[in-house]
Each structure stands twice: as structure tokens, then as C-alpha cells.
Amino acid sequence: MNFNQASYTISAKSLKDCPDDSAAEVAFAGRSNAGKSSAINAITGQSRLARISKTPGRTQSINYFRIEDGRYLVDLPGYGFAKVPLEVKQQWQYELERYLRQRRVLVGLILLSDIRHPLKDFDRMMIDWAQQSELPLLLLLTKADKLKRGAVNNALTQVQGQYADGGLTVQPFSALRSSGVEQVRSVLSQWLQAPPELATQPS
């Protein structure tokens, strides 16, 4: 699967605006400062595919990036630091929940969490939801370039230890250094090419 040919398709304001031709899609979720856009750009080898802003919370819709016919990467609205009115945040939360619960072609979830302070409350909620829904999930500990190797390994061990019985797959990731990109591409290819009922947790 050639991720370098990814192209922006549409920004859906609600579930009804999502593409009708989608056969399989993987969503990227995380706090507004977790580096979702940077990760998507690194994975697709395109520096400007997903918009990066110095102001967290700029992603206010469900953004679709087409990999090939019927296969998409989906950038979900970030949660956390967005400086927007409360009613806007509530609308984002509503649409995010509808998407996660009702989008039948969703075959996997990439959850991004800053390795320097991982697993905030919403991260844990997303992990629990994915496990209960039996939706394959890969947790990326982003910005690994900010820590030395020993600290990265310590953070990885700590997170894995908290979900030792839950089968959670965790991967350190750095968009700046392209560290972890090939591993994520491998997981995405597996998920996007398999029928939804056959998608499995990454090993």
C-alpha cells in the first residue's frame, strides 16, 4: 500500500458528511497537542498533507485522506487544549462519539499520546472503549525524540505494565526522526486491506 500517494479528500462536519465510498478507514485520535497531524504527514511522507498549527485544537472536523480506492486515514478532532467556546467543544464531542460508535467501516484506531506525559483520562477512556468494542488499537507514544533512549524505554515499560492483561500494543514514535513510521505503515496496511471482521490487533 503506497502511503506516499495519499491525498486530502474532505472535511466532514458530521457523520452524514463522511465519504460513501469508504470500504475501510483507520482513525487517528489524541489530545490536541499529541502530534496527530505531524504523525499523518510522516506516515504519508508529505510535510503539508495534514495541517499543522502552533495553536492546539485547530482540527475541528473529521478530515479524510485517501490512500487508494475506498481506503482512508481519518484525522479526528483533537481533545484537550482547544481554545473554543464550550458549545463548540460539546459539538465536537458529540460528533466524535457518533463517528466512533456508528461508522461501520472503521477498522482500527491509532491513539496518540505524548510520551513525556502519556495516558491522560481521555486516552484511557479511548483505550477502554476500543477494547470493549473489540476494535484494533495501536497506541503511539509520540515525540520520542524529546527523550533519551533510556527514558523512552522506561515510559514504554510503564505504559505496557498498566495494560499487561489487556493486549495493548504500544509503539514509540517520532515524526521528526521518522522513528516508528514503517511499523505504523505495516499495521495500517494490514488493517486497511482486511475485511472489517478480519482486522486484528497489531503484534
**Span 74-102, average pLDDT:** 76
Q: In what order do the strands lie in the sheet with 24-30?
A: 7-12, 62-68, 71-75, 24-30, 106-114, 137-142, 169-172
Determine what percent of the chain is predicted with pLDDT higher than 70: 85
Backbone region of residue 63 per phi and psi (left: phi > 0; alpha: psi in -120 to 50; beta: other values): beta
19-29 pLDDT per residue, tens: 999 999 999 99
**Span 91-118, average pLDDT:** 90
The pLDDT value recorded for residue 53 is 52
pLDDT level of residue 164 (50, 70, 90 thresholds): confident
Say how far apart CA 17 and CA 169 lie, in whole Å. Answer: 31
H helix intervals, 105-148: 121-133
Buried b (16+ CB within 10 A) or exposed e, 148-174: eeeebeebbeebeeebeeeebbbbbbb
Instruction: Out of 1.10.3720.10, 3.30.499.10, 3.40.50.300, 3.60.21.10, select the CATH number for domain 3-198.
Output: 3.40.50.300
pLDDT at 172 over 50: yes
Q: Considering the chain, what is the average pLDDT of its residues?
A: 87
The pLDDT value recorded for residue 145 is 97
- Contact present, 201 and 169 (Cβ < 8 Å): yes
**Span 3-17, average pLDDT:** 93
pLDDT at 61 over 90: no
The pLDDT value recorded for residue 57 is 47
Handedness of CA 92, 141, 51, 73 (dihedral sign): negative
CA 159 from chain centre, in angstroms, equals 17
Question: Which has the higher per-residue pLDDT, 194 or 23?
Answer: 23
pLDDT at 196 over 60: no
Q: Where are the domains of the chain?
A: 3-198
Report how far apart, in Å, the C-alpha atoms of 141 and of each of 48, 118, 171, 174 are. Answer: 22, 7, 6, 8
Give me 65's grid cell.
485522506
